[in-house]
Chains A and B, each alone.
Chain A
Amino acid sequence: MREKEMRIRRIEHGTVIDHITGGQALNVLHILGISGSTKAVVSVAMNVQSGVLKTKDIVKVEDRELKQEEVDRISLIAPEATINIIRDFKVIEKHTVDLPEIIEGVVKCANPNCISNTDEPVISKFTVYKNPLELRCIYCDHVISEGIAGQLI
């Protein structure tokens, strides 16, 4: 176990997002707005063995403590994720992600005729329903229940 964790080095300050659904790490970075032009030091481990048959991804973002509302959005694609806030190499806060009631500007409506898919000054907005996860477009009422990762803006 120790060895597996060492795949990515420990960080002094920042945020570790663990237990990301295997293969979703890059989408998580995308949702968090972390791209190639971000200054932060970011490490990513993908498809790490977790349990007997499962794999997970891990993302570590240095020198940045992610806020709850930032991380909640990743629950759309990684509902099991845990967030660890690190200071001086110690976990000072640990929490799970919780689906927000409304998500804005993260997912694109799958209805091509929706007003949110035009040049109008409008930001996509969805009401979030849990168990099972469904997103209902505030504008056109279209429901997205699967393939959410594919609809990320």
Chain B
Amino acid sequence: MMLEHIISMRDFSRDEIDIILEKAIVLEPVARGGKSTLLSGKILATLFFEPSTRTRLSFDTAMKRLGGEVIDFGALEASSVVKGESLADTIRVIGGYADAIVLRHPREGAARMAAEYSNVPIINAGDGAGHHPTQTLLDLYTIMRESSLSGLRIALVGDLKYGRTVHSLAYALSLYHADMTLVSPQQLKMPDVIKKDLEKQGANVRETTRLDDVIGDIDVLYVTRIQRERFPDPAEYLKVSGSYRVTEELLKKANENLKIMHPLPRVDEIDHAVDRTGFARYFEQSFYGVPVRMAVLAMAMGVE
């Protein structure tokens, strides 16, 4: 399978996702420090119009582990040289230098537009509040490696209103007919448009405001941050965020095979004490970004 562009999870069928995940399994030993020359002679351009150091480093690592080279703007140019030039022009120019482009941009839909102008594959590394498909792919990979994608019972917790990570993940999980429980405070419930969309895919979705209600009945707990900015009243924020904190106490009621995920960085939504338990999988999850991005890069550049 040759991937043309990687813009949104909505462009993928379940079969296509499975092919990427299987490719990532093959490449995981390389991500762990093995040697590969799979992408030697290839050049990846990382165009970050807003900072996201972790995502950029993850792509850099993936490319370099596969023997390829990475070019970018450098810190200064991103703010000065590129300013004033249209994204469409930048893409056409950089497309002449690189074999694929990783793009992060503050505007929603930027990657889709870039793909229209690019003669090399565009990999969307986040466009505004829009898509970030490699995050979703690495989430799925983590579930596959640490739990199971079939018959999955998962709770998505936290800011389900603004969090694009969970929207995209929920959509992808609907392709796997996962049993999903949405756990959030009233003010941060998943928007109806997204829920309707999940139901259209045949997803089984429940909602609750209490983490306690589901903790004993799930295989994966996917935690996201509740941002302070969403609450005009600081006292209200403390009260709400406190009631979704994952602690050892809460986990006493958990299924023993429960796995906890988090897209990171976290603030205090998961107690540090939980890190030492067998439930914690968020650092593995972060690592899995490397083999998944390797798979995406190799497939985007047409290397089997």
Contact partner of B86 (CB less than 8 A), chosen from A109, A114, A120, is A120
Contact across chains for A113 and B112 when beta carbons are under 8 A apart:
no
Q: Is B129 an interface residue when CB atoms closer than 8 A count as contact?
A: yes
Q: List A contacts of B8 (CB < 8 A).
A: 141
* Closest B residue to A118 using CB positions: B107
**Is B128's beta carbon under 8 Å from chain A?**
yes
Residue of B nearest to A142 (CB): B108
A153 CB-CB contact with B under 8 Å: no
| CB contact under 8 A between A120 and B88, given known A113-B128, A140-B130, A141-B130 | yes
B interface residues, tally (CB under 8 Å): 20
A103 CA / B107 CA spacing, docked (Å): 21
A54 to B95 CA separation, bound complex (whole angstroms): 56
- A interface secondary structure, majority: loop
Question: Whole-angstrom distance between the alpha carbons of A114 and B10 in the complex?
Answer: 17
Task: Report the nearest B residue to A124, measured CB to CB.
Answer: B109
Point out which of A118, A120, A138 has the most chain B C-beta atoms below 10 A from its C-beta: A120
Chain A residue at minimal CB-CB distance from B117: A121
- Is there an interface contact between A113 and B88, defined as CB atoms closer than 8 Å? no
Query: Within B83-112, which residues are at the interface with A (CB < 8 Å)?
Result: 86-88, 105-110, 112
CA distance A118 to B112 in the complex (A): 14
Contact A140–B86 (Cβ < 8 Å): no
The majority secondary structure among interface residues of chain B is mixed
The A-contacting residues of B in range 104-150, CB under 8 angstroms, are: 105-110, 112-113, 116, 127-131
Question: How many A-B pairs with Cβ below 8 Å?
Answer: 54
Interchain nearest-CB distance for B111 vs A (Å) = 9
Checking B105, B106, B109, B128 against A116 with a beta-carbon cut-off of 8 angstroms, the contacting residue is B109
Interface positions of A from 107 to 121, Cβ below 8 Å from B:
109, 111, 113-116, 118-121
Chain A nearest CB from B116 CB (Å) reads 8
Instruction: Say yes or no: A114 contacts B109, CB within 8 Å.
Output: yes
Residue of B nearest to A121 (CB): B88
Closest B residue by C-beta to A116? B109
State whether the Cβ of B193 lies closer than 8 Å to any Cβ in chain A: yes
Find out whether the CB atom of B107 lies under 8 angstroms from the CB atom of A115.
Answer: yes
Q: Which residue of B lies closest to A139 (CB)?
A: B109
Tell me, in angstroms, the Cα distance from A143 to B112 when the chains sit together: 16
Once A120-B86, A121-B86, A121-B88 are accepted as A-B contacts, the answer to whether A143 and B193 lie under 8 Å apart by CB is yes
State the Cβ distance, A124 to closest chain B Cβ, in Å: 10
A137 to B8, CA, bound (A): 13
Asked whether A113 lies within 8 Å of B86 as measured between CB atoms, the reply is no
Q: List 7 A-B contacts (CB under 8 A).
A: A115-B107, A115-B109, A118-B107, A120-B113, A140-B108, A140-B109, A142-B108
Which A residues fall within an 8 A CB radius of B? 109, 111, 113-116, 118-122, 137-143
Since A122-B113, A140-B127, A141-B131 are in contact, a sample of 4 more A-B pairs with Cβ atoms closer than 8 Å, ordered by chain A residue number, is A115-B108, A122-B88, A139-B110, A141-B109
